[in-house]
Structure 1
Amino acid sequence: MTTTTPAAVPAQQSSAKTAYKVTGPRVLRSEWAKFWSLRSSWITLAVAVVLLVALGAIASATYSPDVTAPPNGPGSGTQDAVSLALLGVTFASLAVGVLGVLLSAGEYSTGMIRSTLTAVPRRLPVLWSKAAVIGPVALVVSTVGALAAFQLGTLGLHGEKIALTMGDDGVLRSLAGAGVYLGLVAVFGVALGVLLRSSAGAIAVLVGVLLILPGLAQLLPDSLYDNINPYFPSNAGSAVYALHQSSDALSPGAGLAVFAGWVALTLVGSAVRLAKTDA
């Protein structure tokens, strides 16, 4: 009589299944590797930092006390060291937003999204992982760029009345707020890319929402425009990093809540489409 060990095969099968199980951390590591393997990630991040630092430093170096800032936007209409240092945030927001779009919609353009969703059939972890990768990366890189822009700006503003230091009230909050805003813009780009599944279309919507929509809204009656203007995504986001707010602008906390709400709403829409429709 011979004896067998039938439990050995199921144990091996169980071990194999455990080794290749799709989990959130593994999807996150995959998206992390995918992000840094793309040349566009390095180039676009570099462009964002260069725009942020260079424009801020140039604005500070060419500052003239006889020139005042336009009254539009979240600021009080007067220039300060922080507003000059963060002059490049608008242009940097386009760079990180485009990077978010390319990270998500780029897979639809190349057809790679089919392989991604085959490997991760539950789908939604892919979206959350892309957002979790690009958001913190853009936040850290942008915050470093904002700090560098401010430090370089202090050289150009030496002796001027508007000169500030890191220890002055609100300065660190504003510089960190710029990083938070740009991090959320990057996540907004990811959500738009998944929602629209077209790089060109998502970039067009990104530019329209952040830059064109507030300008077009000026065609509305003044009473209506004054009520809704602070709640546009870019205006709410600008309030997050403005050192001084005008009377009709949101506070930094309220601005962050409103802009984060826009991003969350777009993420929900992209999640629904990703889960319900084929790639």
Structure 2
Amino acid sequence: MTPPAAEPAATATTATATTAAPAGGSVTGPTAAPRVTFVHTLRAEWVKFRSLRSSWYTLACLFGVGLGITVLSMSSAGTQYADATAEERQDWDPTGLSLTTYIVAQLIIGVLGMLVVTSEYATGLMQTSLTATPRRHRLLAAKLAVATAVAVVAGQVLMFAAFLIGQALLRGQDVPSAELGDPGALSAVAGGGLYLAAIALLAAGLGTLMRATAGALTILVGIIFLVPGLAGLFPAWLEGLLGFWPTAGAAAVLTTVPDPDYPHPWLNLGGMCLGVAAVLAAAFVAFRHRDV
């Protein structure tokens, strides 16, 4: 009796599978999926970041606005120095003057930190990311690592550029200027970059908690501008909090002339970083226990 036509096909398929199997082994089941490591997740987050046009637009805005403010503010420094009293000239801080662009730059770099997280909520890509990386703490850690790396580099480049441009403008007006080798100058410039990186991480944590850029930005504006602006209305027992608050005690690290209200600026910056760490811890808890 002639065997059914399907049998030769089945035999051929089996032979092909046997032939394709590695020597000394046998095909026992489907090939196991490759293990996703933190490095894979980190690389994927970097690809996402550099693929977004909004990321590059925000970086361009950071440098364009930041350095533009430096040029505008330092162009009138000669008049300020000429009109200053003898006591004001003793407190003249050319380094701090050239770094005042941080006031606006911290808001822009905060938006950059938020976008690392909130852009995926806006587009619905977060569900896909969670499917690809079920370990949520690993996904969020990779996002924060990318935000930290970008913010540290961008913040330091901006602060050094603002310092160099600002001092060049001061020298052109025959106004006392500073060099990086002067006491406290390099510390202030580097501290400014670290300060901006901390703000970016704070914004990323707020973005994780709020899941929306608008809500996170509203809170960040309140932290950066509203609270220090209303500091005079706080009760006495809350005044010590301002020593570790952005644009108050923590921002004293960007100056070279000691501020009697904040005699230990690096300690104040460290306290601010502890507050940022608390926000990030809350973000990890919320991100792990929410549906998306």
TM, length-normalised to structure 2? 0.83
Are 1:55 and 1:88, in contact at CA under 8 Å, matched by a contact in 2? yes
Equivalent residue, structure 1, for 2:123:
110
Q: Report the more deviating stretch, 91-100 or 50-59.
A: 50-59
Alignment equivalent of 1:207, drawn from 212, 218, 221: 221
Partner SS for 1:234: coil
Distance 1:6 1:240 in 2: 66
Q: Which is higher, the Rg of structure 1 or of structure 2?
A: 2
Distance 1:139 1:245 in 2: 25
Task: For residue 220 of structure 1, report the CA deviation from its aligned partner.
Answer: 2.1
Task: For residue 11 of structure 1, report the CA deviation from its aligned partner.
Answer: 8.9
Distance 2:251 2:276 in 1: 15
Equivalent residue, structure 1, for 2:11:
none
Task: For residue 180 of structure 1, report the CA deviation from its aligned partner.
Answer: 0.7
Question: Aligned in 2, Cα 1:225/1:194: closer, same or farther, shift over 3 Å?
Answer: closer
Equivalent residue, structure 1, for 2:258:
245
Identity of aligned residues (%): 34
Distance 1:165 1:59 in 2: 19
How many equivalent pairs are there? 265
Equivalent residue, structure 1, for 2:164:
151
Partner SS for 1:65: helix
1:65 aligns with 2:81: yes
Distance 1:243 1:102 in 2: 33
Task: For residue 6 of structure 1, report the CA deviation from its aligned partner.
Answer: 8.8
Residues 39-63 of structure 1 deviation map (CA, whole Å, 9 limit, x = unaligned): 1111111111122222123222210
Residues 212-262 of structure 1 deviation map (CA, whole Å, 9 limit, x = unaligned): 1111232124x3454332122332430232222311115232122111111
Aligned-residue CA RMSD in angstroms?
2.4
Any stretches of 5+ residues in structure 1 without a counterpart? 69-76
Equivalent residue, structure 2, for 1:37:
51
Tell me which of the two structures has the higher relative contact order, counting C-alpha pairs closer than 8 angstroms and 6 or more residues apart.
Answer: 1
Are 2:110 and 2:202, in contact at CA under 8 Å, matched by a contact in 1? yes
TM, length-normalised to structure 1? 0.87
Any stretches of 5+ residues in structure 2 without a counterpart? 1-17, 85-89
Q: Report the more deviating stretch, 48-57 or 108-117.
A: 48-57
Q: Report the more deviating stretch, 57-66 or 257-266.
A: 57-66
1:267 aligns with 2:280: yes
Are 1:184 and 1:263, in contact at CA under 8 Å, matched by a contact in 2? yes
Distance 2:153 2:251 in 1: 18
Equivalent residue, structure 2, for 1:9:
27
